[in-house]
Structure 1
Amino acid sequence: MCRRFFVQRTYVLDTSVLLSDPQAINRFDEHEVVLPLVVVTELEAKRTHPELGYFARQALRLLDDLRISNGRLDEPVPLPDGGTLRVELNHSELHVLPSGFQSGDNDSRILAVAQSFANEGRNVVLVSKDLPMRVKASAMGLAAEEYRAELAITSGWTGLAELAVSTSQIDELYDSETLDVDEARDLPCHTGLVLYSDRGSALGRVTPNKTVQLIRGDREAFGLHGRSAEQRIALDLLLDPDIGIVSLGGRAGTVLPVSGCQPRTDVNRIDHRSAHMCQSTRSRIYQPRKPSACGLRDYGIAAGNLLPASSGKSGRDQLEGGDSK
């Protein structure tokens, strides 16, 4: 009989990992996670950073919760998925590194910890979001990986839920475009739903009277179609004239200005063409933009100082481009 032997790996994380995902220490299953002490020091230095401060504080709070639960962190403490975490105070001697890496900076200290554990015979993997850091580790003969786990939402409302229903309920929803489901009554109004059964699925939304309203996948505005469940539900919300405010959030590149602005203008156009003048038309689109540094620019990718970089020209260009199609 063939047996599978478990080989535990030692993942050494640098600061960039925790700044991208404060819950990163819980993403390595049953393996050992090591945080060099300099990582905690760098997190402390980032606590008041305008962009990274939140992530640094969240990571430090998680470490403090583990400290409270276990008393100390210099020895391996258990993690929920069976792995362990330790803050490594030792193994930072630079003499274990090649001469070209003994600069004494924070990267060198993290590499020294990884190299020291590797010298002890452990299966070490250095995990970093920083490309030069991974290159340095590979140049030393260490295994290096990019941290790719998505940032999990640990708090706040996502606006989306999943419900398991019967095949007959899916058919009823498609036939009548409405469905009464007991589980949906406990959800907030306008929650997007992914309903699935053994033989099919459907998208819906919780109405004010707590029934489920069907969301059709072929709905569009100015030629825009939702591809994912989230986009289709967002488009349905944006096209509903009875909803006064719709808040959408997402990372750069998710086409929020187009999806957020164009349906609103579509609603306005429909209202003004109707026989009666609807008084609930949208008169303003609010498009916030963080003045984040990007490369060599102080205020994002747009050229200029704060005023032109934060103007609404990009949103207006997208509206005009969609309107011309």
Structure 2
Amino acid sequence: MGNLVDWEAWLRSAAKRPSDNEESKRDRTEQQIRAALDDYGPLSGKYRVYVKGSYANNTNVRLNYDVDVAVEYTGYFYSDLCFDLQGHDDSEVGVYASYDTYSREDFKRDIKAALFETFGSDAIEIGKIAYRVRENKTTLPADVVPSWEYRRYDRIDAWGDPVVHVGSRVYPSTGGYKNNFPKIQVTRGTEKNDRTHRRYKRMVRCLKKMQTRLTDAGVLENELPSYLVECLVYNVPDSLFNNSTYLEDFRKVVGAIWGSTQPNGDWGEWEEVHGLHYLFKGSFAGMRADAHTLADKAWDEVGIE
């Protein structure tokens, strides 16, 4: 399929950040969401807003338009006391929140009402976790995610105090909840990018673009979640990045993913970017073989010997 491709040139193009025009659209999208919430009186003083996901982590690729906007309630927080940093399975040990008559459903209802009031009901799609705001000529589509602060207390430090990791909790309409750590993810991703002389995030974009290429060609049936691709590249050792060519970087990244995701590989020890969940023991359980297939097909596509 790709024998006549100049892969070094292709990878250098794929590694680039989105255009200035798309970045401007991202900024306008966030501004419009903030303005819609600010203009809705019942929400006044109750929330904070921040962008998360691939845009916040600077791993988005061109034509990957989703902007994830967290709207986090500030009236109380949830917490767990677990003392098991790597093996924690998100089973609830204890939840602590101050008494507050403003319920989760109240918060979701008011966010939806604010978006309806500004954009109109026809522009909003209601999902399990987020309200999706349709794009227009000057903005990108946005997933507005009602969230609550979550604090995970792990282990004891040298002074006898628990170590706290501040994250975010969401409550899907189907029940239960999910915890994540978007701000820690940003910090750790930036640190790895610095250690690899900017090659980490470039290779994330390359693998995302390669996955799209293979899916469009029918080589892959479905694309893996964007965040899973980011995590796969994150687990590749730093020493395999920053080679003389992008093709050599890509070869070593894909090879490392391929080797580690074999049935007898060390994939069971791989972590999410924030370092607080095992990669294939939570949200991505059962997807090890899919990750291996992506690496295998990417290897074949660029004709690596």
Q: Same fold (TM over 0.5)?
A: no
The structure showing larger relative contact order (alpha-carbon pairs under 8 Å, at least 6 residues apart) is 2
How high is the TM-score relative to the length of structure 2?
0.26
* Structure with the higher helix share, 1 or 2: 2
TM-score (normalizing by structure 1): 0.25
